């Protein structure tokens, strides 16, 4: 069963949790119990990625084994690497390549599964769905790719106008299927997230238009990402003959690293998660001070992390306050009013030794791209470079370090060219800058978005 972090929604099953997205009480859906399966890790070590995905999903879903096998197969058959998420050595760090899906970003791993899962549930129930999403870059293209052309689904994807990388924007706006609506919002990604949340909190509108979410407020997104943490940890532990590993995670919205935290709670051999932020460092400041305070969004060369309000932080905070939904509600109300909350002992730390954090500035990010290319012949995208830079401060001789590579470097050619002098391309991006586009620029206003959905929803 699934419950809301805010404690005012009745428990619901997996299918309803997926279709609900944001809970009716404004909270996020989480499993009522985290399964602890440390005793299964040895048996899971030699499983393929798809086999492990089936085992992990089985712990959290009520789907039949036959249906779940089919969904896993369909979701990952199109990935361009047989291992789905291969590990590559680059000096002292192992790079976990999560960009072998159809849009060259880690979001494909969860969203290919979620798109197929949506379709499966909608066909079971003979229903239709209107998706409202917000993206700082990669979520939009991955979500659109996962549902384009599906007859039961329409998707309305908001992105901050002029604040995503050109190739990221084109991956969204060049999709011309009739069920896809790109909305360029005159604001920041945080504004897009705020509009999305306000729209979902209008329960009459949400029910009237059967609104669902593909953002990581949807539990299925986090669930799908748990798999690659366990897979990478088990493979590395075996190959390096280590007891446990460390993973560095470039993150802005906290959904990716939250999946790693769940993997740790389940018993994966992970000793520490290294949270890596760019100059938009609300999360790294929290884990170094216990204070969660938002500020203005700074535009950087790692735009998917240009975020000052992390939507998934509420899930983590629920556990940090002892699963006390009342206290969580008070904290979220306080943050809404003051843009700042304090959680911890008051001793300049967040009181969670399993997560450490650091910042990679633009100059440090560029240096990491250049140095890794010159020393190891490996090209990092700007987001992954933030993770590599920060991870260097937390290396251990006994515990291998893995850094998540969240996107293919070809999506950020200008930064790569400036750092290395090299031009990186990919056949999936050929011709995309010249392709026709379809997008609507809209004011930073929730009512304008609701009106647009009202006019075009199925």
Domain extents for the chain? 1-104+114-122+218-429
Does 348 score more than 50 pLDDT?
no
Does 183 score more than 70 pLDDT?
yes
Rounded Cα gap, residues 36 and 305, in angstroms: 31
Rounded Cα gap, residues 433 and 171, in angstroms: 9
Residue 107 is a catalytic residue: yes
When pLDDT is cut at 50, 70 and 90, the band that residue 93 belongs to is very high
Whether residue 111 contacts residue 153, with contact meaning beta carbons closer than 8 Å, is answered with no
Whether residue 206 contacts residue 131, with contact meaning beta carbons closer than 8 Å, is answered with no
pLDDT for the residue 350: 56
Instruction: Give the whole-number percent of the chain exceeding pLDDT 90.
Output: 87
Kindly name the residue from 38, 107, 299, 411 that is annotated as catalytic.
107
pLDDT for the residue 345: 54
What are φ and ψ of residue 133, in 5° steps? -135, 165
| Residues 281-294 pLDDT 10s | 999 999 999 999 98
| Residues 235-254 pLDDT 10s | 999 999 999 999 999 998 89
Among 149, 157, 129, 143, smallest CA distance to 15 is for 129
Exposure pattern of 301-335 as b/e (b: 16+ CB <10 Å)? Answer: bbbbbbbbbbbbbbbbbbbbeeeebebbbebbeeb
The chain-wide mean pLDDT, for the chain, equals 94
Among 361, 317, 357, 359, smallest CA distance to 335 is for 317
pLDDT for the residue 297: 87
CATH topology for the 1-104+114-122+218-429 domain: Rossmann fold (3.40.50)
When pLDDT is cut at 50, 70 and 90, the band that residue 178 belongs to is very high
First to last CA, the chain: 30
Who has greater pLDDT, 307 or 75? 75
């Amino acid at each position: 069963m699934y419950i809301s972090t805010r404690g005012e929604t009745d428990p619901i099953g997996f299918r309803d949790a997926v279709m609900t997205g944001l809970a009716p009480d404004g909270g996020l859906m989480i499993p009522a119990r985290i399964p602890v399966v440390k005793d299964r890790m040895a048996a899971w070590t030699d499983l393929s990625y798809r086999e492990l995905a089936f085992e992990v999903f089985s712990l959290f879903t009520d789907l039949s084994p036959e249906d779940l096998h089919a969904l896993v197969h369909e979701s990952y058959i199109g990935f361009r690497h047989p291992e789905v998420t291969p590990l590559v050595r680059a000096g002292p760090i192992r790079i976990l390549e999560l960009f072998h899906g159809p849009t060259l970003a880690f979001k494909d791993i969860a969203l290919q599964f979620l798109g197929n899962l949506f379709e499966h549930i909608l066909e079971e129930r003979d229903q239709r769905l209107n998706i409202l999403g917000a993206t700082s870059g990669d979520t939009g293209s991955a979500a659109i790719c996962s549902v384009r052309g599906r007859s039961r689904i329409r998707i309305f994807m908001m992105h901050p106008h002029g604040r995503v990388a050109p190739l990221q924007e084109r991956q969204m706006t060049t999709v011309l299927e009739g069920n896809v609506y790109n909305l360029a919002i005159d604001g920041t990604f945080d504004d897009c997230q705020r509009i999305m949340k306000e729209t979902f909190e209008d329960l009459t509108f949400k029910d009237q238009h059967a609104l669902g979410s593909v953002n990581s407020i949807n539990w299925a997104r986090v669930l799908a990402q748990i798999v690659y943490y366990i897979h990478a940890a088990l493979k590395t532990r075996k190959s390096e003959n280590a007891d446990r590993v460390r993973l560095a995670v470039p993150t802005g919205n906290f959904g990716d690293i939250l999946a790693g935290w769940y993997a740790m709670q389940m018993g994966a051999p992970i000793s520490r998660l290294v949270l890596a932020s760019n100059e938009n460092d609300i999360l790294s400041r929290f884990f170094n001070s216990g204070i969660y305070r938002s500020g203005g969004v700074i535009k950087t060369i790692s735009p998917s992390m240009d975020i000052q309000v992390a939507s998934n932080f509420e899930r983590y905070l629920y556990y940090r306050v002892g699963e006390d939904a009342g206290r969580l509600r008070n904290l979220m109300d306080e943050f809404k009013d003051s843009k700042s909350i304090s959680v911890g002992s008051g001793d300049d730390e967040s009181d969670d030794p399993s997560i450490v954090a650091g910042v990679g500035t633009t100059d440090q990010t560029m240096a990491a791209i250049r140095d890794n290319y010159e020393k190891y012949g490996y090209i990092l995208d700007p987001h992954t470079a933030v993770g590599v830079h920060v991870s260097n401060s937390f290396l251990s001789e006994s515990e291998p370090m893995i850094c998540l590579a969240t996107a293919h470097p070809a999506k950020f050619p200008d930064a790569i060219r400036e750092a290395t002098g090299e031009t990186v391309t990919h056949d999936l991006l050929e011709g995309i800058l010249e392709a026709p586009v379809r997008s609507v620029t809209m004011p930073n206003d929730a009512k304008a978005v609701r009106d647009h959905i009202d006019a075009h929803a199925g």
